[in-house]
Amino acid sequence: MADSGRRPEAPLKAPDKKQISRRAVLGTGAVLLGSAGLTAAGVKISDDARHAARVAAPSSSSAPTRPSGKTKEYWVQADSFSHNLVPTGADQMMGTTFKPADSTYWAVGYRAFTANWGEALPGSDDIGPNTGIPGPVLRAEVGDTVLVHFRNNDTHYGWPHSMHPHGFKYAPDSDGSYIAADTTTPGRAVPGGQSYTYRWTAEPSSVGTWPYHDHSVAQGITPAGPVMEFNAEVGMFGLIAITDGRTPKVDREFFLFFHDLYQDNLPSLSQDYDAFNGASYLGNTPTFEARVGDRVRWRVAALGKEFHVFHIHGHRWKDEAGRFTDSQILGASTALTLEYTEDNPGDWLYHCHVTDHLAGGMVGWYRVTA
Ligand SMILES: [Cu+2]
């Protein structure tokens, strides 16, 4: 139904005069340096590129691929809600306990709805749990056009929000990233109560796993001022899964998002938390289940200012160079797509192997039955 969901936005409020906090800017710089080092060392994070390269070289032309596929529509709403990162109140790994007040803060997350934001969709293998953190899995086949009808229902903070995708091809008016010097391009700061429709196209170079996230006006809730991508820190992110005819069929597909929350930015938290899919510590993070013989795919991505190492106990898989590994590096906005055939029953840990992050809650159960 094309752009019928697109509505004009109200004029933006004047940008906040405060600058982005120095701490946040320094953190971002460190990440950029680290990223350059990784590239120089030839470490490539996504293993989907080689797959896409067999189909077609990434397009250097500005002409979008002729849409050969479907038009898919998603109705997504940003909702604000109180969120507890450690809902069981305990860490099964170290035996530490947490009171709800230690690990609860005001979150904003994306949820998928029926048409015209009628009602929130139930969780499914297609979109994931749809509980808000992370947002719904957005899927496309190469050739598809995806229309995302986004509504801002952030009633707690009342901030403008947006959706910014990775992996798709799109025009500037579907980029969703705030630029103070350009308040005329729509979709970059959708005010509370208003909506906007983004149009994204899946190209041959789009095959793989990607993040999407809020890229709107930087916000903050402490006297230190706005923090870069604070909206993503409070929960506004999700995964994109793009396939083509060569994408193998699997029996199990797991979705895992690495992200971090800092007490300096969120003073209601008793400490910094390192989280998987909006939860921290063993027994609170997602438990993934498979059976021996299952073909398994993990789709994994990260945002923030940390580097992570994704590790699964008792398992190996081939990296993009064709070498077996059981640990792969992940940085802000990079993703992994890894596949193997399950052959090892037991209760296993998956975790971030950066020790600070393991101590901060980045660990979960992977249970395999015979
Ligand atoms: Cu980590």
**pLDDT value at position 22?**
39
**pLDDT value at position 170?**
98
- The answer to whether residue 2 sits within a structural domain is no
Picking from 185, 188, 140, the residue whose alpha carbon sits closest to that of residue 164 is 188
Cα 44 to averaged position of ligand 1 atoms, centre (Å):
17
Cα 221 to averaged position of ligand 1 atoms, centre (Å):
25
pLDDT above 90 for 233: yes
Q: What is the pLDDT of residues 170-200, one digit of tens each?
A: 999 999 999 999 989 999 999 999 999 999 9
- The answer to whether residue 321 sits within a structural domain is yes
| DSSP-assigned beta bridge partners for residue 113 | 75, 120
| Band of pLDDT at residue 69, cut at 50, 70 and 90 | confident
Q: Are 198 and 150 in contact (CB under 8 A)?
A: yes
Cα 308 to averaged position of ligand 1 atoms, centre (Å):
3
Domain count along the chain: 1
Segment 286-301 mean pLDDT: 98
Q: Are 322 and 277 in contact (CB under 8 A)?
A: no
Cα 318 to averaged position of ligand 1 atoms, centre (Å):
21
pLDDT above 90 for 14: no
Q: What is the pLDDT of residues 313-338, one digit of tens each?
A: 999 999 989 999 999 999 999 999 99
Cα 306 to averaged position of ligand 1 atoms, centre (Å):
7
User: What is the reported pTM?
Assistant: 0.82
Rounded to an integer, what distance in angstroms lies between the CA atom of residue 116 and that of residue 128?
20
- The answer to whether residue 253 sits within a structural domain is yes
- The answer to whether residue 47 sits within a structural domain is yes
Q: What is the pLDDT of residues 90-140, one digit of tens each?
A: 999 999 999 999 999 999 999 999 999 999 999 999 999 999 999 999 999
Whether the link from the prior residue into 134 is cis, omega within 30° of 0, is yes
| Residue with the larger pLDDT of the pair 316 and 26 | 316
How, if at all, do strands 273-276 and 308-312 pair?
unpaired
CATH of the domain at 111: 2.60.40.420
| DSSP-assigned beta bridge partners for residue 147 | 73, 199
Cα 302 to averaged position of ligand 1 atoms, centre (Å):
9
**pLDDT value at position 31?**
30
- The answer to whether residue 10 sits within a structural domain is no
- The answer to whether residue 24 sits within a structural domain is no
Rounded to an integer, what distance in angstroms lies between the CA atom of residue 310 and that of residue 302?
10
- The answer to whether residue 259 sits within a structural domain is yes
At residue 247, the 3 state secondary structure works out as coil
Neighbours of ion ligand 1 (CB under 5 A): 308, 352, 354, 357
- The answer to whether residue 362 sits within a structural domain is yes
Cα 275 to averaged position of ligand 1 atoms, centre (Å):
9
Q: CB within 8 A of 230, min separation 6: which ones?
A: 218, 219, 220, 265
Cα 63 to averaged position of ligand 1 atoms, centre (Å):
38
Q: In Å, how far are 29, 103, 354 from 24, measured between CA atoms?
A: 9, 22, 21
Cα 252 to averaged position of ligand 1 atoms, centre (Å):
24
pLDDT above 70 for 276: yes
**pLDDT value at position 48?**
38
Q: CB within 8 A of 1, min separation 6: which ones?
A: 73, 147
For Cα atoms 222, 225, 226, give the angle at the middle one, nearest 5 degrees: 110
Q: In Å, how far are 137, 138, 251 from 125, measured between CA atoms?
A: 9, 12, 11
Cα 309 to averaged position of ligand 1 atoms, centre (Å):
6
**pLDDT value at position 68?**
66
Cα 257 to averaged position of ligand 1 atoms, centre (Å):
11
Cα 31 to averaged position of ligand 1 atoms, centre (Å):
13
Cα 295 to averaged position of ligand 1 atoms, centre (Å):
26
| Residue with the larger pLDDT of the pair 59 and 142 | 142
Q: Which domain holds residue 253?
A: 34-369
Cα 361 to averaged position of ligand 1 atoms, centre (Å):
9
Cα 81 to averaged position of ligand 1 atoms, centre (Å):
25
Cα 359 to averaged position of ligand 1 atoms, centre (Å):
10
pLDDT above 70: percentage of residues in the chain = 82
Rounded to an integer, what distance in angstroms lies between the CA atom of residue 150 and that of residue 3?
12
Rounded to an integer, what distance in angstroms lies between the CA atom of residue 206 and that of residue 146?
13
Q: CB within 8 A of 77, min separation 6: which ones?
A: 110, 111, 113, 117, 120, 150, 151, 152, 153
Cα 259 to averaged position of ligand 1 atoms, centre (Å):
8
Cα 362 to averaged position of ligand 1 atoms, centre (Å):
7
Cα 276 to averaged position of ligand 1 atoms, centre (Å):
10
